[in-house]
């Protein structure tokens, strides 16, 4: 709100009034006028966004939409993402600011209608409330990356003396047949296992790692794993594993969320190096790579 007030303070009030008429739906103007809320506090105006491009994020947060879904390809909003993140607008982006304001008008007008007796306090607090969810999303990403690294370490322990080269994000293993097998930290899949046969690379396994343990979000994590597995499938991987917290969950429901997954392993057991799932994971992993498993 401070950033918005600063931008409005630098804007010509006559231009602001003209643009309110152009970009703010009449019904929304009536509701806001009756509530004592300023139109420019709810609806983006070109003159304001041009003055402070990072305010793209303010209006996004008013709608409560996380960055990931707001800027995905189909929305068309990806073109203005860097404006939120850097506070700068390229000449090409400046030409699209009016288009952004027009696109935001309808959903923001719906917001105005749906909030009963909307007040200035509502407008001031909405971005803060939704920003908390955005921070949680960032935290979940950090948890996921840490889990991937920890699983990668567990995998390296299973490979043991068969590792011929170890890099921060890749293990090269020599299997019992004398072939080179690579185990790589990547994205879609998180872990990829490939075997070199002559001059050809044979895709072996795509592994998704989901580090969160909250039950309420487990089905979303399984759904994300499914999306990644489908991408891996398009790249030629024939088998798909998902490492996820299974505690307190109905596996049949999880399996419906990710029908592509061939094997499920509990992440708590894998990271603890003990339990039925850990033993099962070790055996499957050694079998795929083609090495004898140490007791």
Domain boundaries, the chain: 2-118, 140-289
- Residue 29 or 144, more confident: 29
Regarding pTM above 0.85, the answer is no
Structure confidence at residue 75 (pLDDT): 85
For 99, 148, 160, 163, the CA distances from 182, given in Å and listed in that order, are 47, 16, 14, 10
CA within 13 Å, CB half, 243: 31
Structure confidence at residue 137 (pLDDT): 55
Structure confidence at residue 287 (pLDDT): 95
Structure confidence at residue 250 (pLDDT): 81
Mean pLDDT, rounded, of the chain: 88
Torsion sign, CA atoms 2, 78, 87, 6: negative
CA within 13 Å, CB half, 293: 14
Structure confidence at residue 87 (pLDDT): 92
Contact 188, 228 (CB under 8 A): yes
Q: Is 259 helix (H, G, I), strand (E, B) or coil?
A: coil
C-alpha span between 264 and 229 (Å, rounded): 13
Q: Which of 255, 249, 258, 243 is nearest to 216 (CA)?
A: 249
Structure confidence at residue 156 (pLDDT): 94
- Phi and psi angles of residue 84, each rounded to the nearest 5 degrees, phi first: -65, -40
Contact 261, 281 (CB under 8 A): no
Composition of the chain by helix, strand, coil, percent to 5: 60, 15, 25
Contact 37, 29 (CB under 8 A): no
pLDDT digits (tens, 9 = 90+) for 121-151: 878 777 666 665 555 555 555 556 788 888 9
Q: What CATH number does domain 140-289 carry, 3.40.50.2300, 3.40.91.10, 1.10.340.30, 3.40.50.2000?
A: 3.40.91.10
C-alpha span between 280 and 295 (Å, rounded): 13
Average pLDDT of the residues in 20-44: 94
C-alpha span between 167 and 182 (Å, rounded): 11
Residue in the structure block whose two tokens are 């039925």: 276
Beta partners for residue 195, in sequence order: 181, 202
Q: Are strands 200-209 and 191-197 parallel, antiparallel or unpaired?
A: antiparallel
- Residue 145 or 14, more confident: 14
Say which range, 84-88, 143-147, 155-159, has the weakest mean pLDDT: 143-147
* Per-residue pLDDT at 39 exceeds 80: yes
C-alpha span between 42 and 20 (Å, rounded): 11
Residue in the structure block whose two tokens are 């990644």: 228
* Per-residue pLDDT at 288 exceeds 90: yes
Cα dihedral 30/47/49/131 (nearest 10): -30
Structure confidence at residue 136 (pLDDT): 54
Average pLDDT of the residues in 56-84: 87
Torsion sign, CA atoms 73, 74, 77, 79: positive
Q: CB neighbours of 104 closer than 8 A, spacing ≥ 6?
A: 43, 44, 59, 63
* Per-residue pLDDT at 202 exceeds 90: yes
Structure confidence at residue 179 (pLDDT): 95
């Amino acid at each position: 709100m401070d950033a918005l007030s600063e931008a409005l303070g630098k804007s010509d009030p006559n231009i602001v009034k003209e643009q309110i008429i152009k970009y703010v739906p009449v019904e929304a103007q009536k509701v806001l006028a009756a509530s004592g809320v300023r139109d420019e506090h709810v609806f983006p105006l070109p003159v304001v966004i041009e003055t402070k491009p990072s305010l793209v994020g303010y209006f996004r947060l008013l709608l409560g939409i996380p960055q990931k879904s707001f800027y995905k390809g189909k929305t068309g909003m990806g073109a203005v993402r860097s404006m939120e993140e850097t506070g700068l607008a390229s000449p090409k982006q400046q030409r699209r600011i009016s288009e952004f304001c027009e696109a935001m008008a309808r959903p923001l007008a719906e917001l105005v209608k749906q909030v009963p007796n909307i007040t200035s306090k509502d407008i001031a607090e909405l971005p803060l409330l939704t920003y908390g969810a955005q921070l949680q999303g960032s935290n979940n990403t950090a948890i996921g990356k840490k889990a991937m690294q920890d699983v990668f370490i567990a995998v390296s322990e299973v490979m043991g003396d068969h590792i011929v080269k170890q890099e921060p994000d890749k293990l090269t293993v020599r299997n019992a047949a004398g072939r080179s097998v690579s185990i790589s930290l990547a994205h879609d899949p998180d872990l990829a296992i490939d075997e070199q046969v002559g001059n050809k690379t044979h895709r072996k396994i795509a592994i998704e790692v989901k580090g969160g343990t909250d039950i309420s979000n487990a089905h979303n994590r399984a759904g994300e794993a499914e999306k990644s597995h489908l991408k891996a499938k398009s790249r030629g991987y024939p088998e798909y594993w998902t490492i996820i917290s299974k505690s307190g969950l109905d596996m049949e429901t999880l399996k419906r969320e990710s029908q592509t997954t061939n094997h499920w392993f509990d992440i708590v057991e894998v990271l603890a190096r003990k339990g039925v799932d850990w033993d099962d994971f070790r055996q499957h992993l050694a079998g795929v790579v083609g090495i004898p498993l140490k007791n």
